[in-house]
């Protein structure tokens, strides 16, 4: 009898012998919408990349080539500060090249100073200075030099 009571008691209780499976995740129309948005995003990324490459090709953007300016009159390059005030200006025209700034320098490829000019002085940093004019050069005031010499096999005239 105790066996019967136990088996009867067991049959009335809810059974937990079989595994219960709970679905976790996105199912149905939500999953289809998510896949649609991911696919749409991938298509937009590919179209954006294709358009960017096409624009770069059409506008002839290249890397590492020289920059050329063509103009019928002149080309002006301005260097501006934060307040858009012109600090330095380079104007190239058909008759002259003009530079406006506090200091003008010409250097060799290795960085050696060849020529510089500012408000107070002009410096020529080359090893030799040759004046090729027919009349030479005229100095209204005195000049200083550590070495004066003529061209080879020619006489020095002062």
Coil, helix or strand for 106? strand
On whether the pTM is more than 0.85, the answer is no
For residue 99, the surrounding DSSP H or E stretch is strand 97-100
What φ, ψ does residue 100 adopt, rounded to 5°? -115, 125
Residue 8 has pLDDT above 70, yes or no: no
Domain-wise residue ranges, the chain: 22-65, 75-124
pLDDT of 5: 52
Asked if residues 125 and 116 have their Cβ atoms less than 8 Å apart, the reply is: yes
Sequence length of the chain is 158
Please tell me the least confidently modeled range out of 46-55, 104-113, 141-150.
141-150
For residue 90, the surrounding DSSP H or E stretch is strand 86-92
Q: List the structure tokens of 130.
A: 């040759």
For residue range 10-29, list pLDDT tens digits in order.
555 555 667 888 778 888 88
Closest by Cα among 96, 94, 91 to 72? 94
Rounded CA separation 97/99 (Å): 7
Name the more confident of 87 and 64.
Answer: 87
Asked if residues 156 and 148 have their Cβ atoms less than 8 Å apart, the reply is: yes
Asked if residues 105 and 113 have their Cβ atoms less than 8 Å apart, the reply is: yes
What φ, ψ does residue 42 adopt, rounded to 5°? -65, -40
Residue 2 has pLDDT above 90, yes or no: no
pLDDT of 40: 97
Q: What is the mean pLDDT of the chain?
A: 84
């Amino acid at each position: 009898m105790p066996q019967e009571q136990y088996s009867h008691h067991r049959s009335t209780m809810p059974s937990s012998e079989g595994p219960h499976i709970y679905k976790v995740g996105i199912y149905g129309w939500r999953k289809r919408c998510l896949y649609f948005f991911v696919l749409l995003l991938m298509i937009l990324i590919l179209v954006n990349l294709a358009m960017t490459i096409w624009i770069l090709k059409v506008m002839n953007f290249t890397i590492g080539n020289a920059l050329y300016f063509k103009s019928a009159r002149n080309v002006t390059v301005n260097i501006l500060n934060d307040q858009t005030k012109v600090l330095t200006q380079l104007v190239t025209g058909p008759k002259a090249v003009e530079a406006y700034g506090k200091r003008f320098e010409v250097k060799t490829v290795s960085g050696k100073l060849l020529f510089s000019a500012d408000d107070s002085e002009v410096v020529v940093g080359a090893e030799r200075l040759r004046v090729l004019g027919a009349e030479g050069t005229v100095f209204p005031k005195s000049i200083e030099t550590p070495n004066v010499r003529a061209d080879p096999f020619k006489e020095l005239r002062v």
